[in-house]
Amino acid sequence: MGIKIVVCVKQVMDPETPASAFKVDSDTNKVIPAQGIPPVVNGFDENAVEAALRLKDSTEVDKITVISVGNNFVMDVMKKPLSMGADELILVQDESVSELDAFATATTLAKAIEKVGEYDLILCGRQASDWDQAHVPLGLAELLGLPSITLAQKVDVADGMISIQRSLTDGYEVVESQLPAVITVSNELGEPRYPNLRGIMQASRKTPTIWSAADLGLDAESLSPRLTLTELFIPVSDKRVEIIEGEDEADAGRKLALRLREEKLI
Amino acid sequence: MGGILVFGEIGQNGLQSITSELLAAARGLSAGSGDEVTVALLGSGADAASQDAIARGADKVYSVQDPLLEDPQADAQLGAFEAVCIEVKPSVALFGRTPVGRDLGPRLAFRHGVGVAQDCIEMTTDSATGRVVATRPVYGGNALAKVTFPGDGMQVLVVRPKAVEPLGADSSRTGEVVTFNPGLDPSIVRARLVQTVRQESEGVRLEDAVVVVGGGRGIGGAEAFEMLHELARILGGAVGASRAVCDAGWIDHSYQVGLTGKTITPDIYITVGISGASQHMAGCAASKNIVAINRDADANIFKAASFGVVGDWKNVMPSFIETVRELVNS
Ligand SMILES: Cc1cc2nc3c(=O)[nH]c(=O)nc-3n(C[C@H](O)[C@H](O)[C@H](O)COP(=O)(O)OP(=O)(O)OC[C@H]3O[C@@H](n4cnc5c(N)ncnc54)[C@H](O)[C@@H]3O)c2cc1C
Ligand SMILES: Nc1ncnc2c1ncn2[C@@H]1O[C@H](COP(=O)(O)O)[C@@H](O)[C@H]1O
């Protein structure tokens, strides 16, 4: 018998949105979505999907279920994990889940995962590129009473145990635990695979399951925020760059060195 | 309820710099609230580091001793810190955004059903409510958010390294050292650290370097890094890189500067073919001077740079490096 994997993915604003197109509404403390730039599946969550698919390539995996909590889902975007090779997609759509509040999100995800029922491994991204919190997976583990290991660059499963290479800035750690466990995956795992034509066809035929917070027995009380956003603003920089010019680019390089010397920077 | 409790980290050379930074942050908050500053130091290094912690701003040190703490297991450290929380009943718990702190802070908060602010760079006390207001970069550093904690529960903050200047060691400061035995149950260790593999860096450590030479996707391949190493050698500096080139495998991930890489604070950061995405700048914004060599005059990096050349590095770098060599040798 193989294992059952749940992957948690979030729809986020494209982090490659150029800084010039990044705008904030300071009255509502919300980011204004950039015109014409569609949202994406959070990059690290694609790494998590990839980790699940690699396990499926190498060991017995019965099922990969993808779960997302949010609003205004763009179906083409959210189906990407399916076209990469995941089996099933569950979308929990609810206005009452504020995207900043990790507590509300983790509570909702925990309920959704309990409703899914059987699972051996929960994979998440290391952090969501909107609020950069890296909290939801740790919250999920605490709420479900499971061990958690973060920043995986390699994931191995055997005999009910999981072994993780945990990425550090100078090397890695090997951390092990019994399944079930919550793991967060980092980009050091390697590039997520591109969906192939067959995957895209299969995904287009699948209909996601849609739940609301009420379907999970959650009310506004249980989702009350633990953190309040009081201000959101774009920092202003008063830096003025001095562009060094020359007769040609090589000359500019020479002049740059001389200028840095003048400033005693080299 | 009251007081500020710091999760202390000890290394081979005693108190880690992040812990001194947290103590300084705690003293800043305490200036507004009058709260006592306590630090929990775990394991056998605790006693040796206690006086230093007091000199750096702690009023009280919990030296937490348990056989389970001999080995750095995160689950045991969390259990130990939780036990100290039950004793101290802090209104604020501070962690560093380190490999340990980034996980334990949120886990503690979730266990207690309270909020947690990650990656904070500034913390103040709201004089009206007495609650902490934390500033944290969001959207990869494109925006800053101020967050606060509703209700009256414990407030957990995870603080970005190098965001707060540590206080100088004041050996005339006095404080109390309490030895504390949490009596941990071995079954709490469920995720077990079995091995640590360190990537040895040659020469100057990137995080400590006064000069950093950084390469981005614009340099086009792994070979061009030799040129950057050469420049770094001449200047006695270190080489850094953007995530794009680490992901491409041109250089190891240990060279990555940025939000999910290393934080650098050199006097001069020379970037070559780096666009200056906010997530990269999150790791180098505190550099005193940024120099940009990029062929796109509109690249974001020029907004943060003090000096720049708009051009192809293939034309700019040879004469730049040659002139630097002559100047340094003369
Ligand atoms: C959650 C998250 C976390 C991230 N964390 C990090 C992080 O920690 N660190 C990080 O660096 N990135 C990080 N990123 C990625 C970041 O968003 C950018 O994608 C990345 O920094 C781009 O790298 P780059 O500047 O090398 O490449 P590009 O953006 O592709 O820029 C290349 C530049 O080179 C210039 N160029 C091209 N050819 C030449 C030439 N011949 N001569 C001179 N100039 C030339 C171009 O004009 C361009 O400006 C993160 C992203 C996300 C979503
Ligand atoms: N709304 C969400 N729906 C599903 N998964 C989420 C959601 N928010 C966060 N996650 C998961 O938790 C990880 C870390 O998110 P965060 O704690 O918000 O930085 C993400 O990479 C996802 O795997």
| Confidence at residue B200, expressed as pLDDT on a 0 to 100 scale | 80
User: Would you call B308 and A239 a contact, using CB atoms and an 8 Å cutoff?
Assistant: no
Tell me the percentage of chain B whose pLDDT exceeds 90.
95
Structure tokens that stand for A14 in this block = 């494209």
**Nearest-Cα residue of chain B relative to residue A239:** B304
| Confidence at residue B201, expressed as pLDDT on a 0 to 100 scale | 74
| CA proximity to B323, closest of A98, A254, A208, A259 | A254
> β-strands A228-233, B143-148: how paired?
antiparallel
Residue B167: inside a domain, yes or no? yes
| Confidence at residue B107, expressed as pLDDT on a 0 to 100 scale | 98
Cβ proximity of B258 and B287 under 8 Å: no
Final residue of a structural domain among B160, B188, B216: B188
- Between chain A and chain B, the number of residue pairs with CB atoms below 8 A apart is 244
CATH code for the structural domain at A3-216:
3.40.50.620
Give the Cα separation of A166 and A82 in Å (integer): 26
Residues of A in contact with B317 (CB under 8 A): 253
> β-strands A171-178, A161-168: how paired?
antiparallel
Q: At what angle do helices B225-235 and B313-329 cross, to 10 degrees?
A: 20
* Shortest-distance ligand to the CA of residue A129: 1
Residues of B in contact with A126 (CB under 8 A): 260
CATH number at residue B220: 3.40.50.1220
Q: How far is CA A101 from CA A262, B117, B291, in A?
A: 50, 10, 38
Provide the residue type at A170 as one letter: D
| Confidence at residue A239, expressed as pLDDT on a 0 to 100 scale | 86
Distance from CA of A220 to the nearest CA of B (A): 15
What is the residue-averaged pLDDT of chain A?
A: 95
Task: Classify A39 in phi/psi space as left (phi over 0), alpha (psi -120 to 50) or beta.
Answer: beta
| CA proximity to B157, closest of B141, B133, B137 | B133
Final residue of a structural domain among B131, B156, B188: B188
Number of domains observed in the structure of chain B: 2
| CA proximity to A29, closest of A221, A227, A238 | A227
Residue B242: inside a domain, yes or no? yes
**Beta bridge partners of residue B180, listed in sequence order:** B64
Q: Measured between CB atoms, does B217 come within 8 Å of chain A?
A: no
Rg for chain A (alpha carbons), in Å?
Answer: 22
What is the residue-averaged pLDDT of chain B?
A: 96
Residue A65 CB less than 6 A away from ligand 2: no
Could you read off the pLDDT of B65-93 as tens digits, one per residue?
999 999 999 999 999 999 999 999 999 99
| Confidence at residue A219, expressed as pLDDT on a 0 to 100 scale | 86
User: Would you call B303 and A237 a contact, using CB atoms and an 8 Å cutoff?
Assistant: yes
Q: Judge whether residue B55 has pLDDT over 60.
A: yes
Q: Residues B158, B265: one domain?
A: no
Distance B271 CA to ligand 1 centre (A): 11
Contacts with B22 (C-beta within 8 Å, 6 or more apart), sequence order? B6, B7, B8, B39, B94, B95, B96, B159, B164
Q: Residues B62, B131: one domain?
A: yes
Q: Residues B9, B73: one domain?
A: yes
Residue B196: inside a domain, yes or no? no
User: Would you call A177 and B192 a contact, using CB atoms and an 8 Å cutoff?
Assistant: yes
Q: Which atom from ligand 1 is nearest to the alpha carbon of B312? A: 42
Could you read off the pLDDT of A110-149 as tens digits, one per residue?
999 999 999 999 999 999 999 999 999 999 999 999 999 9
Which of A234, A252, A266 is nearest residue B328 as measured by Cβ atoms? A266
Q: Judge whether residue B185 has pLDDT over 80.
A: yes
Give the Cα separation of A44 and A196 in Å (integer): 20
Residue B121: inside a domain, yes or no? yes
> At B35, is the pLDDT very low, low, confident or very high (cuts 50, 70, 90)?
very high
Could you read off the pLDDT of B205-255 as tens digits, one per residue?
999 999 999 999 999 999 999 999 999 999 999 999 999 999 999 999 999
Q: How far is CA A3 from CA A115, B107, B294, in A?
A: 17, 26, 49
Give the Cα separation of B36 and B6 in Å (integer): 11
Residue that has been written with the tokens 């959210």 in this structure: A78
Q: Residues B147, B242: one domain?
A: no
Q: How far is CA B266 from CA A250, B128, B257, in A?
A: 26, 39, 12
Q: Measured between CB atoms, does B24 come within 8 Å of chain A?
A: no
Final residue of a structural domain among B188, B216, B248: B188
> At A53, is the pLDDT very low, low, confident or very high (cuts 50, 70, 90)?
very high
Q: Residues B173, B215: one domain?
A: no
Residue B260 CB less than 6 A away from ligand 1: yes
Could you read off the pLDDT of A183-219 as tens digits, one per residue?
999 999 999 999 999 999 999 999 999 999 999 999 8
User: Would you call A147 and B190 a contact, using CB atoms and an 8 Å cutoff?
Assistant: yes
Give the Cα separation of A66 and A4 in Å (integer): 11
Q: Judge whether residue B202 has pLDDT over 80.
A: no
Q: Around Cβ A63, how many Cβ atoms within 10 Å?
A: 17
Q: Residues B108, B218: one domain?
A: no
Enclosing domain of residue B289: 206-329
CATH number at residue B107: 3.40.50.620
Q: Judge whether residue B162 has pLDDT over 80.
A: yes
Residue B283 CB less than 6 A away from ligand 1: yes
Residue ranges of B 295-324 with Cβ closer than 8 A to chain A: 297, 300, 302-312, 315-320, 322-324
> At B299, is the pLDDT very low, low, confident or very high (cuts 50, 70, 90)?
very high
| CA proximity to B324, closest of B288, B272, B252, B285 | B272
Q: Residues B221, B74: one domain?
A: no
Which pTM does this prediction carry?
Answer: 0.96
Q: How far is CA B103 from CA A141, A143, B69, in A?
A: 11, 15, 17
| Confidence at residue A107, expressed as pLDDT on a 0 to 100 scale | 95
> At A222, is the pLDDT very low, low, confident or very high (cuts 50, 70, 90)?
confident
Could you read off the pLDDT of B262-286 as tens digits, one per residue?
999 999 999 999 999 999 999 999 9
| B233-237 own/partner pairs: CB under 8 Å, 24+ apart | B233/B203, B234/B321, B234/B324, B234/B325, B234/B328, B235/A266, B235/B211, B235/B324, B235/B328, B236/B204, B236/B210, B236/B211, B237/B204, B237/B209, B237/B210, B237/B211, B237/B212, B237/B213, B237/B266
> At A164, is the pLDDT very low, low, confident or very high (cuts 50, 70, 90)?
very high
| Confidence at residue B230, expressed as pLDDT on a 0 to 100 scale | 97
Give the Cα separation of A64 and A44 in Å (integer): 17
> β-strands B143-148, B132-138: how paired?
antiparallel
Residue, of B201 and B26, whose pLDDT is higher: B26
Instruction: Kindly list the domain boundaries of chain A, sorted by start residue.
Output: 3-216, 236-266
| Confidence at residue B32, expressed as pLDDT on a 0 to 100 scale | 79
Q: Residues B151, B14: one domain?
A: yes
> At A97, is the pLDDT very low, low, confident or very high (cuts 50, 70, 90)?
confident
> At A221, is the pLDDT very low, low, confident or very high (cuts 50, 70, 90)?
confident
Q: Judge whether residue B1 has pLDDT over 60.
A: no
Residue B271: inside a domain, yes or no? yes
Q: Residues B61, B177: one domain?
A: yes
Strand, coil or helix: B30: helix
| Confidence at residue B318, expressed as pLDDT on a 0 to 100 scale | 98
| CA proximity to B103, closest of B124, B119, B84 | B119
Give the Cα separation of A190 and A187 in Å (integer): 6
